[in-house]
Structure 1
Amino acid sequence: MIIETLTSPIILFFVLGMLAGFARSDLSIPEAMSKAMAIYLMVAIGLKGGVAISETGITQELLLAGAAGIGLSFLIPYPVFFLLRKIGGLGRVDAAATASHYGSVSLVTYITAAEVFEAAGMPAAGFMVAVLALMEGPAIISGLSLARDKASNEKGDLLREVVLNSSVVLLVGSMVIGAVAGREGFEPIAPTFEVGYRGVLALFLLDMGLIASRRLRETRSITIRLASLGIAIPVVNGVLGVVLGTVLGLDPGTAAILGVLAASASYIAVPAAMRLALPQADPGIYLSMSLGITFPFNVVVNIFFLSWLAEALV
């Protein structure tokens, strides 16, 4: 699994992007292309998840995994907030905003892990894309409760921002389309979303590597303690997710993916919500930690560790 992970073109393209960014290369991916690749990946994973649900139906496993995901998303921000305050030295608003990122999820981390696990012969259940969608929003509510009186009163706008966020709309919408169409209806468009999927993911991770390294290089807000928390938090959260998935009776690949979701940190949906609800929070802190530290660590190291743990617990 280590060899397959470290020699995977998907991971190596991410490493290339990180190295190019740290070396101050002029390599870049046009923003329009990056957005197009993100849309493609979200639609592809949503369709595949929907088709899988059409074949299995609403199972007990799906309901248990969904409940576990929502619970993790709600609860994770609270201990993370405490650690950021006591060890990281952050103020209440910055700690609350950052903690909400760690309760939510990263789509790209999920996609990368699902691809790596499938290549290693331990695929996750397709319904986990539904769990991914369910875990996008609860952490935002927890983060705002932690910020207390500092939170914005524009609750209606915030709810709209969360529910109609582009990633949520594409994921849920594509999943519904896949579930309605089923395997037979998906077949005519399957080549578009299966043949080119790995190549697009590799290029997208190249871009993510560039962005992550440049974010780290430019920030002045991250201390050694915060950087350490950016690594320790996903390890603890990931172990919690894997153990919970195993206790619920999920297979190793699905339990590992639940761990990956718990370990990941949002850098798309939650930043958009925080800009609206907590504009006084410092983006240099929560974006640098989630995208510059936790995302690379998860992709290069934590995905393998959590898959090993899931198999060890069987």
Structure 2
Amino acid sequence: MQLDAVVLFFVLGLVAGVLKVRLPFPTGLYQSLTLFLLLAIGLKGGAALAEHASSRIIWQSLLVIGFGAALPLLAFPLLRQIGGLDKINAAAIAAHYGSVSVATYAVAVAVLDAAGVTYEAYFPLFVVLLEIPAIIVGLVLARGLSAGLASRELAHETLLSPGIVLMVGGLLIGAFSGGSLIKITPFFMDLFQGALALFLLKMGLITTEQLSALKQDGPFLAAFGVFMPLLAGGLGSLLGHGLGLSVGGVTLLAVLGASASYIAVPAAMRVALPQANATLSMAASLGITFPFNVLAGIPLYLLLAQWLQGSAVSP
């Protein structure tokens, strides 16, 4: 059995973290790789959007936004009723699971490319759209409908977070640069897989750090961190199938639903819900859900997408 080389870099990071190996991974390099991946995904999506723009993308986008808003509403009662978490922490964690992980999406794209599975190239647009709704819904769950985006600081963190700005900026550059985009293609496209591999090496190290936080609420959060992506991934697959997406597109929408944010949402929650225990959210999303999706979830979502496609065409 062969595993994708990019995924194996994540495994290497996990092993090094468990063995407490002190790998010299500069903080600046990790930040640079994050910036690179966000821009590269945005550029690729923008170029595809310019080529395939249609009214179909508009209604698909609206349904994807609704999907993103619904996920925290599914996660919240599980966290409250089964996990016994207080309203603030349940809402904060639910917001993480309604948003997306760009790294998980990037791994899924790498896996599909390696397997020769095609997908709709405008998917980075959906990545951007799914960053925001869950934050708003999480805040409403915690504070009530009247809370909204009353805080200017929160609105800034939500709508102008670095991840949103870089991906939207990349989308716009890719969409409006035309043929001149080829000048930066060797850097942003050809080096993408190598940059992602180094990024996942660091993510493996970070994951082991988050696992140590799973103490008091560890058993429930571990179970939730696996169950919720399976539930959301299944719903994402059904939505993608209903939208008429390709096998790769169904897989990617499942991945977006199954992933959990660990960049945009934590920044917004620090402003909106400072009393929430950020360790719980990060331990679940980064310590459990991210490695589960990278190592097991993405292949499962691909198999489900292939099964749905097969059942649709079978006599």
Range of TM-score over shorter length: over 0.9
Which of the numbers 15, 34, 46 marks the counterpart of 1:19?
15
2:183 pairs with 1:188: yes
Q: Which moves more between the two structures, 51-60 or 141-150?
A: 141-150
Q: Are positions 1:179 and 2:204 aligned together?
A: no
Q: Tell me what 1:49 maps to.
A: 45
Structure 2: gaps of 5 or more residues: 310-315
The offset of 1:87, in angstroms, is 1.4
Deviates more, 1:88-97 or 1:211-220: 211-220
Cα contact 2:118–2:246 (8 A) shared by 1: no
Name the amino acid aligned to 1:23: L
1:152 Cα deviation from its structure 2 partner: 9.2
Report the secondary structure of 1:35's partner residue.
helix
Q: CA deviation at 1:64?
A: 3.5
Describe how 1:1-314 pairs up with structure 2 within 5 A. 3=1, 7-60=3-56, 62-148=57-143, 154-182=150-178, 184-314=179-309
Q: Deviation of residue 222 (structure 1)?
A: 3.3
Give me the whole-angstrom Cα distance separating, in 2, the residues matched to 1:292 and 1:285.
10
Scaled by the length of structure 1, the TM-score of the pair is 0.94
Distance 2:191 2:32 in 1: 13
Unmatched runs of 5 consecutive residues or more in structure 1: none
Give the CA deviation at 1:218.
4.2
Q: List per-residue Cα deviations over 1:260-282 (Å, max 9, x = no partner).
A: 00000000000000000000000
Partner-residue secondary structure (3-state), 1:16: helix
The separation in 2 between residues aligned to 1:221 and 1:109, in whole angstroms, is 27
Q: CA deviation at 1:65?
A: 3.0
Whichever residue aligns with residue 164 of structure 2, its letter is V
Q: Deviations over 1:181-237 (max 9, x none)?
A: 13x221111111122111110000000010011111244343212210110000010
Which deviations, in whole Å up to 9, do the C-alpha atoms of 1:114-140 show, x marking residues without a partner? 111121121321211001100001001
Q: Work out whether residues 152 and 277 of structure 1, in 8 Å CA contact, stay in contact via their aligned partners in 2.
A: no
Q: Using a 3 Å threshold, how does the CA distance of structure 1 residues 75 and 153 change in structure 2: closer, same or farther?
A: closer
Structure 2 vs 1, CA of residues 45 and 153 (structure 1 numbering), >3 Å: closer, same or farther?
closer
- Alpha-carbon RMSD across the aligned residues, in angstroms, is 1.6
Higher mean alpha-carbon deviation, 127-136 vs 154-163, is at 154-163
Structure-2-length-normalised TM-score: 0.94
Mean CA deviation greater in 134-143 or 67-76: 67-76
Shift of 1:79: 1.6
Letter of the aligned partner of 2:9 in structure 1? F
Distance apart, 1:58 and its partner CA: 2.9
Aligned partners of 1:310 and 1:219: how far apart in 2?
32
- Going from structure 1 to structure 2, the CA distance change for 1:73 and 1:197 (only over 3 Å counts) comes to same
User: Are the equivalent residues in 2 in contact too, given 1:221–1:284 (CA < 8 A)?
Assistant: no
- Distance in 2, matches of 1:119 and 1:201, equals 14
CA distance in 2, matches of 1:123, 1:41: 20
Query: How many residues are matched?
Result: 308
Where do 4+ consecutive residues of structure 1 move more than 4 Å?
149-154
- 8 Å CA contact 1:65, 1:245 repeated in 2: no
Is the Cα contact below 8 Å between 2:136 and 2:149 reproduced in 1?
A: no
Matches of 1:278 and 1:115, distance apart in 2: 35
In 1, the alpha carbon distance for the partners of 2:98 and 2:241 equals 20
**SS class of match (2:157):** helix
How far, CA to CA, are the matches of 1:273 and 1:221 in structure 2? 25
Q: Percentage identity across aligned positions?
A: 44
